[in-house]
A and B are shown apart, each in its own frame.
Chain A
Amino acid sequence: MNDAKLDFLKELANIGTGHATTALSQMLSGRLFQLVVPDAQMLPFAEAAEYVGGAEQVVVGIFVVVSGDVKGHMAFLLPLDSALVLLRLLIGDNSGEMNELARSALQEIGNIMITSYLNALSKMTNLLMAPSVPGVAIDMAGAVWQSVLAGAQVTNEVTVIRTEFFADGESIEGNIIFLPDDDDFKKIARLLGLGEM
Protein backbone atom coordinates (compact mmCIF):
# COMPACT_ATOMS: atom_id res chain seq x y z
CA MET A 1 0.00 0.00 0.00
CA ASN A 2 1.43 3.40 -0.91
CA ASP A 3 1.87 6.29 1.50
CA ALA A 4 -0.84 8.42 -0.10
CA LYS A 5 -3.45 5.73 0.49
CA LEU A 6 -2.28 5.20 4.05
CA ASP A 7 -2.48 8.90 4.82
CA PHE A 8 -5.89 9.08 3.24
CA LEU A 9 -7.21 6.18 5.33
CA LYS A 10 -5.78 7.73 8.49
CA GLU A 11 -7.44 11.01 7.70
CA LEU A 12 -10.79 9.26 7.27
CA ALA A 13 -10.30 7.54 10.62
CA ASN A 14 -9.46 10.85 12.27
CA ILE A 15 -12.55 12.56 10.92
CA GLY A 16 -14.84 9.64 11.66
CA THR A 17 -13.61 9.00 15.18
CA GLY A 18 -13.50 12.74 15.88
CA HIS A 19 -17.22 12.94 15.20
CA ALA A 20 -17.94 9.74 17.12
CA THR A 21 -16.15 10.90 20.26
CA THR A 22 -17.79 14.33 19.99
CA ALA A 23 -21.15 12.54 20.07
CA LEU A 24 -20.04 10.53 23.09
CA SER A 25 -18.69 13.65 24.76
CA GLN A 26 -22.10 15.31 24.38
CA MET A 27 -23.69 12.34 26.13
CA LEU A 28 -21.16 12.67 28.93
CA SER A 29 -21.82 16.38 29.57
CA GLY A 30 -18.81 17.68 27.72
CA ARG A 31 -16.12 15.30 28.92
CA LEU A 32 -13.25 15.57 26.46
CA PHE A 33 -11.68 12.69 24.66
CA GLN A 34 -8.25 12.47 23.19
CA LEU A 35 -7.62 10.57 20.04
CA VAL A 36 -4.48 8.55 19.56
CA VAL A 37 -2.99 8.91 16.08
CA PRO A 38 -5.03 6.62 13.87
CA ASP A 39 -3.62 3.49 12.42
CA ALA A 40 -4.37 2.34 8.91
CA GLN A 41 -2.92 -0.83 7.53
CA MET A 42 -3.37 -3.42 4.86
CA LEU A 43 -2.73 -6.56 6.85
CA PRO A 44 -2.19 -10.14 5.74
CA PHE A 45 -4.85 -12.43 7.25
CA ALA A 46 -2.49 -14.02 9.79
CA GLU A 47 -1.60 -10.60 11.20
CA ALA A 48 -5.19 -9.35 11.16
CA ALA A 49 -6.03 -12.18 13.54
CA GLU A 50 -3.52 -10.77 16.02
CA TYR A 51 -4.46 -7.13 15.48
CA VAL A 52 -6.57 -6.83 18.62
CA GLY A 53 -4.38 -8.06 21.45
CA GLY A 54 -5.27 -9.62 24.80
CA ALA A 55 -7.29 -12.47 23.33
CA GLU A 56 -8.61 -13.67 26.70
CA GLN A 57 -9.42 -10.23 28.11
CA VAL A 58 -13.15 -9.50 28.40
CA VAL A 59 -14.33 -6.73 26.10
CA VAL A 60 -17.57 -5.23 24.95
CA GLY A 61 -17.86 -5.40 21.18
CA ILE A 62 -20.43 -3.59 19.08
CA PHE A 63 -20.58 -4.65 15.48
CA VAL A 64 -22.47 -3.29 12.48
CA VAL A 65 -22.71 -4.09 8.81
CA VAL A 66 -22.31 -1.04 6.57
CA SER A 67 -24.36 -0.90 3.39
CA GLY A 68 -24.96 1.69 0.68
CA ASP A 69 -22.46 3.13 -1.81
CA VAL A 70 -19.61 2.04 0.44
CA LYS A 71 -19.94 -1.37 2.04
CA GLY A 72 -17.98 -2.80 4.91
CA HIS A 73 -18.07 -3.60 8.60
CA MET A 74 -17.43 -1.57 11.72
CA ALA A 75 -16.60 -2.59 15.24
CA PHE A 76 -16.41 -0.57 18.43
CA LEU A 77 -14.39 -2.43 21.06
CA LEU A 78 -13.81 -1.37 24.63
CA PRO A 79 -12.39 -3.15 27.69
CA LEU A 80 -14.98 -4.22 30.26
CA ASP A 81 -13.62 -1.73 32.82
CA SER A 82 -14.17 1.16 30.44
CA ALA A 83 -17.68 -0.04 29.63
CA LEU A 84 -18.52 -0.06 33.34
CA VAL A 85 -17.24 3.51 33.73
CA LEU A 86 -19.38 4.60 30.79
CA LEU A 87 -22.45 2.96 32.32
CA ARG A 88 -21.86 4.70 35.62
CA LEU A 89 -21.53 8.09 33.93
CA LEU A 90 -24.40 7.65 31.51
CA ILE A 91 -27.11 5.81 33.41
CA GLY A 92 -25.82 6.02 36.97
CA ASP A 93 -25.36 2.27 37.14
CA ASN A 94 -22.79 1.52 39.84
CA SER A 95 -23.57 -2.16 40.12
CA GLY A 96 -20.72 -3.30 37.92
CA GLU A 97 -23.07 -5.89 36.44
CA MET A 98 -23.94 -6.50 32.82
CA ASN A 99 -27.72 -6.79 32.88
CA GLU A 100 -30.11 -6.26 29.97
CA LEU A 101 -30.36 -2.51 30.58
CA ALA A 102 -26.58 -2.19 30.59
CA ARG A 103 -26.33 -4.16 27.35
CA SER A 104 -28.90 -2.05 25.58
CA ALA A 105 -27.28 1.17 26.85
CA LEU A 106 -23.95 0.01 25.42
CA GLN A 107 -25.62 -0.98 22.17
CA GLU A 108 -27.06 2.52 21.91
CA ILE A 109 -23.71 4.16 22.70
CA GLY A 110 -22.11 2.08 19.97
CA ASN A 111 -24.91 2.92 17.61
CA ILE A 112 -24.54 6.66 18.15
CA MET A 113 -20.78 6.58 17.78
CA ILE A 114 -20.74 4.44 14.67
CA THR A 115 -23.53 6.44 13.06
CA SER A 116 -21.63 9.69 13.78
CA TYR A 117 -18.48 8.24 12.25
CA LEU A 118 -20.24 7.13 9.09
CA ASN A 119 -22.27 10.33 8.76
CA ALA A 120 -19.07 12.35 8.79
CA LEU A 121 -17.58 10.24 6.00
CA SER A 122 -20.84 10.31 4.05
CA LYS A 123 -21.02 14.10 4.20
CA MET A 124 -17.45 14.48 3.08
CA THR A 125 -17.80 12.13 0.13
CA ASN A 126 -21.49 12.38 -0.67
CA LEU A 127 -21.57 8.58 -0.67
CA LEU A 128 -24.19 6.71 1.35
CA MET A 129 -22.84 4.61 4.24
CA ALA A 130 -25.64 3.21 6.34
CA PRO A 131 -25.10 1.11 9.47
CA SER A 132 -27.28 -1.88 10.33
CA VAL A 133 -28.83 -2.32 13.76
CA PRO A 134 -25.81 -3.03 15.97
CA GLY A 135 -25.02 -6.37 17.54
CA VAL A 136 -23.42 -6.36 20.98
CA ALA A 137 -21.28 -9.06 22.59
CA ILE A 138 -19.49 -9.18 25.93
CA ASP A 139 -16.87 -11.87 25.71
CA MET A 140 -13.21 -12.76 25.18
CA ALA A 141 -11.56 -10.17 22.91
CA GLY A 142 -10.29 -12.91 20.62
CA ALA A 143 -13.75 -14.42 20.14
CA VAL A 144 -15.34 -11.03 19.48
CA TRP A 145 -12.68 -9.90 17.00
CA GLN A 146 -12.64 -13.26 15.25
CA SER A 147 -16.42 -13.10 14.82
CA VAL A 148 -16.10 -9.59 13.37
CA LEU A 149 -13.51 -10.78 10.81
CA ALA A 150 -15.67 -13.78 9.91
CA GLY A 151 -18.72 -11.53 9.58
CA ALA A 152 -16.70 -9.37 7.19
CA GLN A 153 -15.63 -12.56 5.31
CA VAL A 154 -12.12 -11.16 4.99
CA THR A 155 -9.74 -12.59 2.44
CA ASN A 156 -5.95 -12.56 2.55
CA GLU A 157 -5.61 -8.79 2.69
CA VAL A 158 -7.54 -6.88 5.29
CA THR A 159 -7.77 -3.09 5.30
CA VAL A 160 -7.98 -2.06 8.94
CA ILE A 161 -8.54 1.52 10.08
CA ARG A 162 -8.41 2.00 13.80
CA THR A 163 -8.47 4.95 16.17
CA GLU A 164 -7.99 4.63 19.88
CA PHE A 165 -9.36 7.22 22.25
CA PHE A 166 -9.26 7.89 25.96
CA ALA A 167 -10.75 10.42 28.34
CA ASP A 168 -9.06 12.63 30.89
CA GLY A 169 -9.76 11.88 34.50
CA GLU A 170 -11.81 8.76 34.03
CA SER A 171 -10.32 5.73 32.48
CA ILE A 172 -12.35 5.27 29.34
CA GLU A 173 -10.59 3.84 26.34
CA GLY A 174 -11.78 2.17 23.23
CA ASN A 175 -11.17 1.36 19.61
CA ILE A 176 -13.25 2.06 16.55
CA ILE A 177 -12.29 -0.19 13.67
CA PHE A 178 -13.55 0.13 10.10
CA LEU A 179 -13.15 -2.80 7.71
CA PRO A 180 -14.15 -1.38 4.33
CA ASP A 181 -14.77 -3.58 1.32
CA ASP A 182 -11.81 -2.86 -0.89
CA ASP A 183 -13.59 -2.06 -4.14
CA ASP A 184 -15.77 0.52 -2.46
CA PHE A 185 -12.82 2.26 -0.94
CA LYS A 186 -11.46 3.02 -4.38
CA LYS A 187 -14.69 4.93 -5.02
CA ILE A 188 -13.97 7.32 -2.18
CA ALA A 189 -10.40 7.80 -3.29
CA ARG A 190 -11.44 8.64 -6.86
CA LEU A 191 -14.10 11.01 -5.64
CA LEU A 192 -11.59 12.90 -3.55
CA GLY A 193 -9.24 13.19 -6.52
CA LEU A 194 -6.67 10.81 -5.13
CA GLY A 195 -6.62 8.79 -8.33
CA GLU A 196 -6.09 5.05 -8.52
CA MET A 197 -4.86 3.48 -5.31
Chain B
Amino acid sequence: MAEVFVNMGQISSFKTQGILTTVGLGSCIGVTLYDDVAKVGVMGHIFLPRSREKDVGAPPGKYADTGIPAMIDEAVKLGAKQSRLKAKMAGGANLFPNLSANSTSIGQQNIDAVTEHLKKHGIAIVGKDVAGGHGRKMRFFVDTGIVTVTAIGKDAVEI
Protein backbone atom coordinates (compact mmCIF):
# COMPACT_ATOMS: atom_id res chain seq x y z
CA MET B 1 0.00 0.00 0.00
CA ALA B 2 1.27 3.46 -0.82
CA GLU B 3 2.67 5.38 2.15
CA VAL B 4 3.11 9.15 2.12
CA PHE B 5 5.12 11.06 4.71
CA VAL B 6 3.50 14.25 5.86
CA ASN B 7 6.10 16.82 6.89
CA MET B 8 5.67 19.91 9.05
CA GLY B 9 3.10 22.27 7.61
CA GLN B 10 1.89 19.81 4.98
CA ILE B 11 -1.54 18.31 4.32
CA SER B 12 -1.87 15.01 2.42
CA SER B 13 -4.76 12.72 1.63
CA PHE B 14 -5.88 9.37 0.22
CA LYS B 15 -9.15 7.98 -1.01
CA THR B 16 -10.02 4.27 -0.55
CA GLN B 17 -6.60 3.16 0.63
CA GLY B 18 -3.07 4.30 1.51
CA ILE B 19 -1.05 5.12 4.60
CA LEU B 20 -0.44 8.66 5.80
CA THR B 21 2.51 8.88 8.18
CA THR B 22 4.14 11.59 10.20
CA VAL B 23 7.43 10.99 11.98
CA GLY B 24 8.88 13.01 14.80
CA LEU B 25 5.93 14.80 16.32
CA GLY B 26 7.22 16.81 19.26
CA SER B 27 5.19 19.92 20.05
CA CYS B 28 3.55 19.60 16.61
CA ILE B 29 0.17 17.92 16.21
CA GLY B 30 -0.68 15.25 13.70
CA VAL B 31 -4.40 15.55 12.90
CA THR B 32 -6.45 13.12 10.84
CA LEU B 33 -9.92 13.60 9.33
CA TYR B 34 -11.84 10.54 8.17
CA ASP B 35 -15.13 9.90 6.40
CA ASP B 36 -15.73 6.17 6.83
CA VAL B 37 -18.46 6.06 4.18
CA ALA B 38 -16.54 7.79 1.39
CA LYS B 39 -13.25 6.25 2.66
CA VAL B 40 -11.53 9.61 2.50
CA GLY B 41 -8.66 10.35 4.84
CA VAL B 42 -6.68 13.56 5.29
CA MET B 43 -3.67 14.16 7.53
CA GLY B 44 -2.19 17.49 8.59
CA HIS B 45 1.01 18.21 10.52
CA ILE B 46 0.34 21.42 12.48
CA PHE B 47 3.38 23.43 13.63
CA LEU B 48 1.98 26.35 15.65
CA PRO B 49 -1.49 27.43 16.86
CA ARG B 50 -2.05 30.71 15.03
CA SER B 51 -0.99 32.10 11.68
CA ARG B 52 1.22 35.18 11.82
CA GLU B 53 1.30 38.15 9.45
CA LYS B 54 5.07 38.20 9.21
CA ASP B 55 5.13 34.61 7.96
CA VAL B 56 4.45 35.53 4.34
CA GLY B 57 3.57 32.66 2.02
CA ALA B 58 3.26 30.03 4.76
CA PRO B 59 1.36 26.89 3.75
CA PRO B 60 -2.11 26.76 5.40
CA GLY B 61 -1.25 23.45 7.08
CA LYS B 62 1.46 25.11 9.18
CA TYR B 63 -1.04 26.66 11.61
CA ALA B 64 -4.12 25.27 13.36
CA ASP B 65 -6.36 28.23 12.47
CA THR B 66 -5.71 27.91 8.72
CA GLY B 67 -4.88 24.19 8.67
CA ILE B 68 -8.16 22.74 9.96
CA PRO B 69 -10.34 24.53 7.33
CA ALA B 70 -7.83 23.59 4.60
CA MET B 71 -8.00 19.93 5.69
CA ILE B 72 -11.79 19.99 5.58
CA ASP B 73 -11.71 21.52 2.08
CA GLU B 74 -9.33 18.78 0.95
CA ALA B 75 -11.60 16.03 2.35
CA VAL B 76 -14.72 17.51 0.72
CA LYS B 77 -12.89 17.84 -2.60
CA LEU B 78 -12.24 14.07 -2.49
CA GLY B 79 -15.91 13.30 -1.90
CA ALA B 80 -16.19 13.38 1.90
CA LYS B 81 -19.15 14.95 3.66
CA GLN B 82 -18.19 17.43 6.36
CA SER B 83 -20.95 16.12 8.64
CA ARG B 84 -19.43 12.63 8.53
CA LEU B 85 -15.86 13.69 9.30
CA LYS B 86 -14.28 12.44 12.54
CA ALA B 87 -10.91 13.59 13.85
CA LYS B 88 -8.01 12.00 15.68
CA MET B 89 -4.93 13.76 16.98
CA ALA B 90 -1.48 12.98 18.38
CA GLY B 91 1.47 15.07 19.56
CA GLY B 92 1.50 18.37 21.44
CA ALA B 93 4.27 17.17 23.74
CA ASN B 94 6.60 19.37 25.75
CA LEU B 95 10.13 18.04 25.29
CA PHE B 96 11.80 20.92 27.13
CA PRO B 97 9.51 21.56 30.12
CA ASN B 98 11.94 23.79 32.01
CA LEU B 99 11.91 26.33 29.16
CA SER B 100 8.19 26.95 29.49
CA ALA B 101 7.89 26.70 33.27
CA ASN B 102 6.05 30.02 33.55
CA SER B 103 3.90 29.79 30.46
CA THR B 104 1.69 27.40 28.51
CA SER B 105 3.91 25.15 26.38
CA ILE B 106 3.69 25.36 22.60
CA GLY B 107 2.52 21.74 22.61
CA GLN B 108 -0.41 22.56 24.87
CA GLN B 109 -1.23 25.69 22.85
CA ASN B 110 -1.33 23.49 19.75
CA ILE B 111 -3.64 20.96 21.45
CA ASP B 112 -5.99 23.77 22.54
CA ALA B 113 -6.03 25.42 19.11
CA VAL B 114 -6.62 22.21 17.14
CA THR B 115 -9.41 21.20 19.55
CA GLU B 116 -11.02 24.64 19.27
CA HIS B 117 -10.96 24.75 15.48
CA LEU B 118 -12.30 21.20 15.10
CA LYS B 119 -15.14 22.09 17.46
CA LYS B 120 -15.85 25.29 15.55
CA HIS B 121 -16.38 23.20 12.39
CA GLY B 122 -18.52 20.63 14.19
CA ILE B 123 -16.02 17.77 13.96
CA ALA B 124 -15.84 15.30 16.85
CA ILE B 125 -12.49 14.08 18.17
CA VAL B 126 -12.81 10.30 18.46
CA GLY B 127 -9.24 9.44 19.42
CA LYS B 128 -6.20 11.17 20.82
CA ASP B 129 -2.77 10.61 22.31
CA VAL B 130 -1.46 14.04 23.25
CA ALA B 131 0.69 16.03 25.69
CA GLY B 132 3.36 14.42 27.89
CA GLY B 133 7.09 14.83 27.34
CA HIS B 134 7.92 12.43 24.49
CA GLY B 135 7.95 12.44 20.71
CA ARG B 136 5.58 10.38 18.59
CA LYS B 137 5.16 8.75 15.19
CA MET B 138 1.63 8.57 13.78
CA ARG B 139 0.33 6.31 10.99
CA PHE B 140 -3.15 6.56 9.47
CA PHE B 141 -4.53 3.59 7.50
CA VAL B 142 -7.11 5.09 5.21
CA ASP B 143 -8.79 1.78 4.24
CA THR B 144 -9.88 1.18 7.85
CA GLY B 145 -9.53 4.58 9.56
CA ILE B 146 -7.17 3.04 12.11
CA VAL B 147 -4.50 5.35 13.54
CA THR B 148 -1.47 4.00 15.41
CA VAL B 149 0.91 6.02 17.56
CA THR B 150 4.39 4.86 18.53
CA ALA B 151 7.01 6.37 20.84
CA ILE B 152 10.54 5.42 21.90
CA GLY B 153 10.44 2.74 24.61
CA LYS B 154 6.64 2.45 24.58
CA ASP B 155 4.23 -0.03 23.03
CA ALA B 156 2.32 1.17 19.97
CA VAL B 157 -1.20 2.36 20.74
CA GLU B 158 -4.23 2.48 18.50
CA ILE B 159 -6.38 5.57 18.82
Q: Which A positions have Cβ atoms within 8 angstroms of B?
A: 45-46, 49-50, 55-56, 58, 61, 63, 65, 132-133, 135-137, 139-147, 149-151, 153, 155-156
Write the chain B residue with the least CB distance to A61: B95
Asked if A56 and B137 sit within 8 Å, CB to CB, the answer is yes
Asked if B98 and A135 sit within 8 Å, CB to CB, the answer is yes
**Chain B interface, number of residues (Cβ within 8 angstroms):** 34
A144–B93 alpha-carbon span in the complex (Å): 10
Q: Which residues of A contact B133 (CB under 8 A)?
A: 137
Q: Could you tell me the distance in whole angstroms from the C-beta of B52 to the nearest C-beta in chain A?
A: 7
Asked if B152 and A139 sit within 8 Å, CB to CB, the answer is yes
Write the chain A residue with the least CB distance to B96: A135
Q: Could you tell me the distance in whole angstroms from the C-beta of B110 to the nearest C-beta in chain A?
A: 8
Chain B at the A interface: mostly helix, strand, loop or mixed?
loop
Q: Could you tell me the distance in whole angstroms from the C-beta of B92 to the nearest C-beta in chain A?
A: 11
Binds A, one of B56-64, B70-78, B141-149: B56-64
Given A63-B96, A135-B97, residue A141 in contact with residue B24 (CB < 8 A): yes
Q: Could you tell me the distance in whole angstroms from the C-beta of A141 to the nearest C-beta in chain B?
A: 7
Asked if A56 and B23 sit within 8 Å, CB to CB, the answer is yes
B54 in contact (CB, < 8 A):
yes
Q: Which residues of A contact B8 (CB under 8 A)?
A: 45-46, 49, 146, 149
Identify which of A49, A132, A150 contacts B48 (C-beta below 8 A): A150
Chain A at the B interface: mostly helix, strand, loop or mixed?
mixed
Query: 1/0 per residue B121-141: CB within 8 Å of A?
Result: 000000000000111110000
Write the chain A residue with the least CB distance to B52: A155
A150–B92 alpha-carbon span in the complex (Å): 11
Asked if B97 and A142 sit within 8 Å, CB to CB, the answer is no
Instruction: Provide a sorted-by-A list of 17 A–B residue pairs whose CB atoms are within 8 angstroms.
Output: A45-B8, A46-B7, A50-B7, A55-B24, A56-B23, A132-B99, A135-B97, A135-B98, A139-B26, A142-B24, A143-B95, A144-B26, A147-B26, A147-B27, A147-B107, A151-B27, A155-B56
Q: Which residues of A contact B7 (CB under 8 A)?
A: 46, 49-50
A76–B84 alpha-carbon span in the complex (Å): 45
Write the chain B residue with the least CB distance to A142: B24
Q: Which residues of B contact A58 (CB under 8 A)?
A: 152
Asked if A140 and B135 sit within 8 Å, CB to CB, the answer is yes
Q: Which residues of B contact A133 (CB under 8 A)?
A: 98-99
Q: Could you tell me the distance in whole angstroms from the C-beta of B34 to the nearest C-beta in chain A?
A: 24
Identify which of B56, B98, B107, B134 contacts A139 (C-beta below 8 A): B134
A183–B96 alpha-carbon span in the complex (Å): 26
